[in-house]
């Protein structure tokens, strides 16, 4: 169980769900390690935190072993411990028909989303163990878990499904060390992740499905906000979720059930 002012790593902290989570956790007393490859985004996140928040920023690539190792070393050097990890960094990558999706494009999505999650936990778990326990939250998606209607999202869906399997495997492996591992699976969220996405030949893979009332029942079709996911992450890191591990939690307004 996390006691006192927990030290929490957030990857992909420079925008979207990562930034919203950083703001929420800082306001509730977490000491933060903010990691992202976008230096400007990191600076903006740091400036958005409450003034008394204790946080360090580290720029790096989540799929680079040396960069992730540096993040962990700086965490230990600055705070002397680690209590929680939010493995949030990820990309949509390229969505295209399987025969059109190049091996390089496949590898890039796997590299960031899956290798990045692995490296983060591979390097962080020893510090969590030395602290006597802690909490991990992996940010996955409804895609690849509940819904498969995004055209050409084979690589993305594969990584998101694998993240859920990883959390459930680690929930058992790490339970004896009092480390919990859970997953949040957002649906459509109003963030900038789509800015770096590419969708090719959509018509070749799309299965047209039209919902007259919108595809997110709870909000009349409007996407969720990053803060909606951040609140669930905060709960999963807290003592209130002390008996939860290996659980995928869907934050999608019912979208995954409908689609």
Maximum distance among all alpha carbons in the chain?
A: 55
CB 133 within 8 A of CB 176: no
Percent helix / strand / coil, the chain, rounded to 5: 45, 20, 35
Q: Give the β-pairing of 94-95 and 134-139.
A: unpaired
pLDDT for 218 equals: 73
Tens of pLDDT, residue by residue, the chain (259 residues): 344 699 999 999 999 999 999 999 999 999 999 999 999 999 999 999 998 899 999 999 999 999 999 999 999 999 999 999 999 999 999 999 999 999 999 999 999 999 999 999 999 999 999 999 999 999 999 999 999 988 899 999 999 999 999 999 999 999 999 999 999 999 988 765 555 567 766 666 665 655 555 677 777 777 789 999 999 999 999 999 999 999 999 998 888 887 6
Number of other residues whose CB lies within 10 A of the CB of residue 222:
12
Q: Cα–Cα distances in Å, from 21 out to 26, 40, 86, 177?
A: 8, 17, 9, 25
pLDDT for 253 equals: 86
pTM score of the predicted model: 0.90
CA distance 133 to 191: 32
pLDDT for 259 equals: 66
CB 10 within 8 A of CB 23: no
pLDDT for 214 equals: 61
Helix 154-175 vs helix 116-130: crossing angle, to nearest 10: 20
- Of the candidates 141, 166, 165, the one whose C-alpha atom is nearest the C-alpha of residue 153 is 141
* Residues tagged active-site: 156
CA distance 131 to 1: 10
Residue where the block lists tokens 């905060």: 234
DSSP annotation of 151 reads: T
CB 4 within 8 A of CB 180: no
Structure tokens at 246: 């290996």
DSSP 83-133: -EEEE------EE--TTTS-HHHHHHHIIIIIIHHHHHHHHHHHHHHHTT-
List, in order of start, the domains of the chain with CATH numbers: 7-258 (3.40.50.720)
């Amino acid at each position: 169980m996390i006691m006192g002012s927990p030290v929490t790593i957030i990857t992909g902290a420079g925008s979207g769900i990562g930034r919203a989570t950083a703001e929420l956790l800082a306001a509730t007393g977490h000491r933060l390690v903010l990691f992202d490859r976008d230096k400007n985004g990191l600076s903006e996140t740091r400036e958005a935190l409450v003034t008394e928040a204790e946080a360090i920023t580290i720029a790096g690539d989540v799929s680079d072993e040396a960069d992730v190792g540096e993040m962990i070393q700086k965490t230990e050097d600055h705070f002397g411990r680690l209590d929680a990890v939010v493995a949030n960094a990820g990309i949509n990558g390229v969505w295209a028909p399987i025969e059109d999706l190049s091996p390089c494009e496949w590898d890039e999505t796997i590299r960031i989303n899956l290798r990045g999650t692995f490296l983060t936990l591979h390097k962080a778990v020893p510090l969590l163990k030395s602290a006597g326990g802690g909490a991990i939250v992996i940010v996955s998606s409804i895609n690849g878990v509940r819904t498969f209607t995004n055209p050409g999202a084979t690589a993305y869906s594969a990584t998101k499904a694998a993240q859920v399997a990883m959390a459930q495997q680690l929930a058992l492996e790490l339970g004896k060390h009092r480390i919990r591992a859970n997953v949040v699976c957002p649906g459509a969220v109003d963030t900038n992740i789509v800015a770096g996405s590419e969708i090719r030949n959509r018509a070749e893979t799309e299965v047209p499905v039209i919902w007259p009332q919108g595809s997110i029942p709870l909000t009349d079709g409007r996407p969720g906000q990053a803060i909606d996911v951040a609140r669930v992450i905060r709960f999963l890191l807290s003592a209130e979720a002390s008996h939860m591990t290996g659980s995928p939690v869907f934050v999608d307004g019912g979208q995954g059930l409908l689609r």
